[in-house]
Amino acid sequence: MSDLTALTLKSALDGLEKKQFSSLELTNAFLANIEAANPRLNAYVVVTAEKARAMAKASDKRRKKNPGPLEGAPLGIKDLFCTEGVRTTACSNILGEFTPTYESSVTANLWRDGAVMLGKLNMDEFAMGSSNETSRFGPVINPWRRGNEDTNLTPGGSSGGSATATAADLCLGATATDTGGSIRQPAAFTGTVGVKPTYGRCSRWGIVAFASSLDQAGPIAKTVEDAAILLRSMAGHDPKDSTSLPVETPDFQQACGRSIRGLTIGVPEEYRMDGMPKEIEDLWAQGIEWAKAAGAKIKAISLKHTKYALPCYYIVAPAEASSNLARYDGMRYGARVQGKDLADSYEKTRAAGFGAEVQRRILIGTYVLSAGYYDAYYLRAQKVRARIAEDFRAAFEEVDAILTPATPSAAFALGEKSGDPVSMYLNDIFTVTANLAGLPGLALPAALDKKGLPLGLQVIGKALDEETVFAVAAALEKAADFKARPTNWWS
């Protein structure tokens, strides 16, 4: 078989089970794709070819005895996840050649279930960004292009490597993280499916911290069902993370087959932003029609504090980041620039090690936490955050899920927004709310815009009710019948 890499995770797992091909064959096919594509797409920052082949061989042996749910499936791992013996830098210079001596809980869960690691995926530095342009390794390129133009577009961020690798058949699926939209926005920009689960569903242990009260891991995959399969393996209670929830992990894959007849889906009026492109409006209206046709009831709802979500996020996230990033001092691990004394070494290391966007976040975060401004900014943002969560709580008394667009636009060109942080931050307008409220959110591809670029819808659910999110998303996916693929210009 020549097009093994075009398979969905589900069909690859079926093929492996039926012994139509081995994990080693599948792994080699992906490694060949990566070698051909990576010089153009820049999705991988480390390719672990030897490790991948060894894991694939071990998986082929295990198949005879007791195969796991992801047995033999080659995956890409965002460079934010610590991987034992494999360089992990969060795509920041400050981590130098840091090679962890331990494995993150989420990736350990994947290997426990039989998956194979292809390598580490590019991302915005410390997951701060929406375009992958803040990576120390340079931007990732979106496999999608506008019509016949050859302008390079961003795959979004911060999980741009995960999105591009999944969209361009450089893995069956990938891990990603989402603090304000970093799973859902890149998924929307690349025609893939991204899920940010409920806060606490996946362990944060061994994931480089950005904003600890918002960070969640989740998958980027080719289909809703693939995302459900991956999330089931990634999730689970972990005593090593005190915010990990002590709950059972449901069978998300099964939930994809549930009917949505009789469910009520909320449409929040506040997400109808001024100046929203017509194509996004139309996509949303189309999504509503699809949900109705599948038997759901639609209800207009109000999430009153939505307009404060972005300003609130851009106080809370930098505040937590400034505190989390204080640990990078060049003393214990990562890169160090030697100064004349200790303080000078700290300063030189941090000045050289952190990129401009990360420095901006540290400055903002330190400012809003400083004694004179704490009440005016940080404390107030926490109050606003509570109101936003309360809006959702009230809405979920009346509806089972909420439908919104995933992003305010399709993928944009590299360089188009990198000089203007505020216009970059506006990308997260539909996604940050779910992080602030700790709720699950899923982005799925629903249509192409006039230039042929994918556009995504978002489904938001109640805390710990990813099952309804998967059911609604699977129904929309079926109705959208999104089959478009980027033309291969990269290999």
Q: Is 133 in the site for ligand GLN (CB under 6 A)?
A: no
Instruction: State the catalytic residue, choosing from 159, 182, 233, 418.
Output: 182
By CB under 6 A, name the one of 210, 308, 430, 470 that touches ligand GLN: 210
By CB under 6 A, name the one of 428, 466, 467, 477 that touches ligand GLN: 428
By CB under 6 A, name the one of 182, 190, 192, 253 that touches ligand GLN: 182
Instruction: State the catalytic residue, choosing from 158, 203, 322, 418.
Output: 158
Site string for ligand GLN, 287-316 (x = CB under 6 A): ------------------------------
Q: b/e per residue, 315-351, with b = 16+ CB within 10 A?
A: bbbbbbbbbbbeebbbeebbbbbeeeeeeebbebbbe
Q: In this structure, are residues 162 and 174 in contact, taking their beta carbons and an 8 Å threshold?
A: yes
Tokens read off for 282: 């139309």
Site string for ligand GLN, 6-45 (x = CB under 6 A): ----------------------------------------
Region from 125-133, 224-232, 368-376, 387-395 binding ligand GLN, contact rule CB under 6 A: 125-133
Q: Is 128 in the site for ligand GLN (CB under 6 A)?
A: yes
Whether 182 is a known active-site residue: answer yes
Residue 85 Cβ vs ligand GLN, minimum distance, rounded to whole Å: 25
Q: Is 355 in the site for ligand GLN (CB under 6 A)?
A: no
By CB under 6 A, name the one of 130, 162, 203, 216 that touches ligand GLN: 130
- Residue 86 per-residue DSSP state: B
Closest CB to ligand GLN among 336 and 417? 417
Region from 57-65, 128-136, 197-205, 281-289 binding ligand GLN, contact rule CB under 6 A: 128-136
Give me the residues paired with residue 460 across strands. 402, 441
Residues 6+ apart with CB under 8 A from 209: 215, 320, 324
Instruction: State the catalytic residue, choosing from 10, 23, 78, 244.
Output: 78
Closest CB to ligand GLN among 70 and 127? 127
- Residue 344 per-residue DSSP state: H
Q: b/e per residue, 244-253, with b = 16+ CB within 10 A?
A: bbeeebbebb
Q: Is 178 in the site for ligand GLN (CB under 6 A)?
A: yes
Residue 364 Cβ vs ligand GLN, minimum distance, rounded to whole Å: 11
Residue 348 Cβ vs ligand GLN, minimum distance, rounded to whole Å: 26
Whether 158 is a known active-site residue: answer yes
Closest CB to ligand GLN among 44 and 430? 430
Q: Is 324 in the site for ligand GLN (CB under 6 A)?
A: no
Tokens read off for 17: 């089970």
Query: Cα angle at 78 between 319 and 187, to 5 degrees?
Result: 85
3-class DSSP assignment, residue 431: coil
Residue 409 Cβ vs ligand GLN, minimum distance, rounded to whole Å: 14
By CB under 6 A, name the one of 72, 74, 76, 129 that touches ligand GLN: 129
The CA distance from 388 to 360, in Å, is: 26
The CA distance from 348 to 19, in Å, is: 55
CA dihedral 142, 145, 151, 153 (to 10 degrees): -30
Tokens read off for 134: 């803040």
The CA distance from 120 to 281, in Å, is: 36
Closest CB to ligand GLN among 125 and 477? 125
Could you tell me which of 103, 99, 443, 46 has the C-alpha nearest to residue 240?
Answer: 103
The CA distance from 444 to 222, in Å, is: 9
The CA distance from 400 to 204, in Å, is: 27
By CB under 6 A, name the one of 27, 107, 162, 179 that touches ligand GLN: 179
Contact set for ligand GLN, span 140-169 (CB under 6 A): 158
Query: Cα angle at 161 between 155 and 163, to 5 degrees?
Result: 55
State which residue has the least CB distance to ligand GLN: 182
Whether 259 is a known active-site residue: answer no
Please state whether the peptide bond connecting residue 213 to the residue before it is cis, i.e. omega within 30 degrees of 0: no
Residues marked as catalytic: 78, 158, 182
Positions in the binding site for ligand GLN (CB under 6 A): 127-130, 158, 178-182, 210, 317, 428
